């Protein structure tokens, strides 16, 4: 009851804004129009009649997919930052938590870019704006994870996540991947606990979504690690523990060595069994990543069915990201003139 | 004369068959390259456009070819050498845990090398067959001219 009575005092405006933004998400008819475009210029024209408006108006032709991706991201960042600016506690902490994931992505982008001798001027503009923090530019001076921590991350919100990663080994591909996954695992578990302490409907909605995210990470890390140098034990340390798979499923995943093994583990959980059954590794099938995206969209849409909770802000961001992925996919198919799988986008409404 | 005609017929049939195989080979090459690029775009959408871009590889280090092909013209021979040391490096540039579809894309592009070599070999074979047929046709022509000449001489 407390949720219903007092929520709107502090968060009613933000929730109203968010629901307004949500109604601008592209519908099936919009996607139908986009799929029929022959060139990227047509795509630009069709997007003008949606909520996107003239966001591509100032771009010189010829349009490229990279430019579309940048503008889409800019628009989303503007909306999110506006929501962040009008929010009060604890919503502002919640929204800050969401940005930590992008900070982790930016750190990894900068480290790999530096490893491959890219100039910092090339890399900084490609970082995700939601994940920028003051010390971001200083990452390029670090050679080992220990230096990375003491020089850069110790003053950022990510400092507590980094404790498991500090080592004196050089930063190479294996370690960068381990750093990424360890940071993300710590972040996800922290976010999950934060949502639990918020309690009420927020906890119900967010914990469901974050548990799925944790399970998805565990599955994807396992599947993608076959035939790489990652051992089973190293892999097991990267699994987030806040999902439904903890602890039995994670134990089983640790021991699997093939895609079919992963499928067998998933078969024990009814919601994941369905996803694995509908997918395959042949060229014509939907991949398991697609099925996971679909399930995520379903969970995020369900978040909007309840009122007076923070989950809608997270759900809105994720739905917009999926929409951006859809638009980029359609744009790539148009640009490559390979329209057979152009319908592989995931419809949201 | 009959054996000459039979030979020409047989070679012509071989030529047409090989031509059919060559067209199929080229079509397969085309499809494999398209599939490779397609899977690459799919991987880009899954991983994020910035995670699969030129930021992940170095333009300053010189790139070493992992597969070298040497062609000798006489006798015609194509050899393929794989540099085992640097073979799998490229996929690691984009993150150790890259999606399966990226690995499939890499396989497609690796297959295109073999398909391109096969197309070369078939094309060379077709040119050889063409030369042989032309040779035999010339022989047949001189044979027919000689026959005609003899017949005219006999009539006269």
The answer on pLDDT for A192 being more than 70 is: yes
pLDDT tens track for B80-94: 888 777 666 777 888
Say if residues B47 and B94 touch (Cβ distance below 8 Å).
yes
| Arithmetic mean of pLDDT, A279-302 | 88
pLDDT band at A1 (very low <50, low <70, confident <90, very high): low
Domain boundaries, chain A: 88-190
Residue-level pLDDT at B88: 61
CB contact under 8 A, B38 and A181: no
pLDDT band at B13 (very low <50, low <70, confident <90, very high): very high
Residue of B nearest to A291 (CA): B46
Count CB-CB contacts under 10 A for residue B87. Answer: 12
Burial (CB count within 10 angstroms: exposed 0-12, middle 13-18, buried 19+), residue A290: buried
pLDDT tens track for A263-274: 999 999 999 999
Strands (E), A152-261: none
Give the Cα separation of B70 and B81 in Å (integer). Answer: 8
What value does the mean pLDDT of chain B take?
87
Residue of B nearest to A259 (CA): B100
CB contact under 8 A, B96 and A229: yes
Which of the two residues, A129 and A144, has the higher pLDDT score? Answer: A129
pLDDT band at A279 (very low <50, low <70, confident <90, very high): confident
Q: How far is CA B82 from the centre of its chain?
A: 18
Residues of A in Cβ contact (< 8 Å) with B37:
336, 338
A158 touches chain B (CB under 8 A): no
The answer on pLDDT for A342 being more than 70 is: yes
Tell me if the pTM is above 0.80: yes
pLDDT tens track for A42-78: 999 999 989 888 888 888 878 899 999 999 999 999 9
A201 touches chain B (CB under 8 A): no
Give the Cα separation of A191 and A179 in Å (integer). Answer: 18
Residue-level pLDDT at A281: 73
| Arithmetic mean of pLDDT, A197-201 | 91
Residue-level pLDDT at A196: 95
| Arithmetic mean of pLDDT, A22-46 | 92
Say if residues A131 and A157 touch (Cβ distance below 8 Å).
no
The answer on pLDDT for A177 being more than 80 is: yes
The answer on pLDDT for A321 being more than 90 is: yes
Residue-level pLDDT at A238: 92
Give the Cα separation of A321 and A213 in Å (integer). Answer: 15
Residues of B in Cβ contact (< 8 Å) with A181:
97
Give the Cα separation of A65 and B40 in Å (integer). Answer: 14
Question: Among all chains, which residue has been given the structure tokens 């902490």?
Answer: A93
Say if residues B56 and A116 touch (Cβ distance below 8 Å).
yes
Give the Cα separation of A84 and A64 in Å (integer). Answer: 31
**C-alpha torsion sign, points A93, A98, A104, A107:** negative
Buried b (16+ CB within 10 A) or exposed e, A223-260: bbbbebebeeeebbebbbebbebbeebbebbbebeebe
CB contact under 8 A, A66 and B53: yes
CB contact under 8 A, A173 and B92: yes
What value does the mean pLDDT of chain A take?
89
| Arithmetic mean of pLDDT, B120-139 | 92
| Arithmetic mean of pLDDT, B59-74 | 80
Which residues, other chains included, contact B141 with Cβ-Cβ below 8 Å and sequence gap of 6+? none
ipTM score of complex: 0.87
CB contact under 8 A, A109 and B45: no
Residue-level pLDDT at A283: 67
pLDDT band at A123 (very low <50, low <70, confident <90, very high): confident
The answer on pLDDT for A126 being more than 80 is: yes
Residue of A nearest to B88 (CA): A228
Residue-level pLDDT at A135: 83
| Arithmetic mean of pLDDT, B117-134 | 92
The answer on pLDDT for A92 being more than 90 is: yes
> What are the φ and ψ backbone dihedral angles of A38, each rounded to 5 degrees?
-95, -30
């Amino acid at each position: 009851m407390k949720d219903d009575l007092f929520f709107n005092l502090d968060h009613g405006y933000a929730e109203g804004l968010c629901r307004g933004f949500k109604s601008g998400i592209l519908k099936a008819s919009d996607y139908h129009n986009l799929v029929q475009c022959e060139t990227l210029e047509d795509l630009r024209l069709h997007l003008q009649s949606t909520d996107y408006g003239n966001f591509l108006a100032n771009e010189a032709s010829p349009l490229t997919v990279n430019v579309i991706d940048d503008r889409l991201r800019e628009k989303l960042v503007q909306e999110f930052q506006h929501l962040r600016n009008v929010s009060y506690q604890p919503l502002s902490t919640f929204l800050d938590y969401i940005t930590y994931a992008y900070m982790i992505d930016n750190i990894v982008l900068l480290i790999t870019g530096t490893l491959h001798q890219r100039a910092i001027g090339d890399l900084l503009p490609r970082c995700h704006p939601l994940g920028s923090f003051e010390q971001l530019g200083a990452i390029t001076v670090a050679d080992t994870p220990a230096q990375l921590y003491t020089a850069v991350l110790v003053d950022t919100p990510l400092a507590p996540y980094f404790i498991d990663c500090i080592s004196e080994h050089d930063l190479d591909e294996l370690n960068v991947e381990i750093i990424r996954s360890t940071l993300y695992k710590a972040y996800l578990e922290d976010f999950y606990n934060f949502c639990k302490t918020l309690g009420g409907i927020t906890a119900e909605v967010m914990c469901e979504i974050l548990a799925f995210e944790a399970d998805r990470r565990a599955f994807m890390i396992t599947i993608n690690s076959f035939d790489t140098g990652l051992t089973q034990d190293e892999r097991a340390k990267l699994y987030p523990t806040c999902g439904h798979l903890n602890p039995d499923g994670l134990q089983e995943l640790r021991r699997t060595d093939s895609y079919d093994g992963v499928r067998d583990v998933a078969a024990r959980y009814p919601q994941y069994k369905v996803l694995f059954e509908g997918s395959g590794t042949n060229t014509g099938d939907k991949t398991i990543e697609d099925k996971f995206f679909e399930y995520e969209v379903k969970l995020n849409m369900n978040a909007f069915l309840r009122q007076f909770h923070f989950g809608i802000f997270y759900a809105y961001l994720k739905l917009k990201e999926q929409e951006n992925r859809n638009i980029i996919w359609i744009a790539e198919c148009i640009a490559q003139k390979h329209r057979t799988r152009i319908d592989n986008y995931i419809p949201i409404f | 004369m009959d054996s000459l005609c039979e030979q020409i017929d047989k070679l012509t049939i071989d030529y047409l068959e090989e031509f059919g195989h060559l067209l199929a080979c080229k079509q397969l090459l085309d499809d494999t390259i398209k599939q490779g690029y397609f899977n690459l775009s799919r991987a880009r959408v899954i991983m994020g456009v910035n995670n699969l871009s030129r930021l992940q590889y170095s333009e300053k280090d010189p790139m070493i070819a992992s597969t070298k092909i040497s062609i000798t013209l006489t006798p015609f021979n194509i050899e393929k050498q794989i540099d085992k040391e640097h073979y799998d490096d490229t996929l690691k540039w984009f993150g150790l845990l890259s999606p399966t579809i990226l690995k499939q894309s890499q396989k497609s592009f690796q297959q295109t090398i073999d398909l391109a070599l096969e197309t070369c070999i078939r094309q060379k074979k077709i040119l050889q067959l063409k030369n042989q047929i032309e040779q035999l046709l010339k022989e047949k022509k001189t044979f027919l001219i000689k026959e005609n000449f003899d017949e005219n001489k006999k009539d006269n």
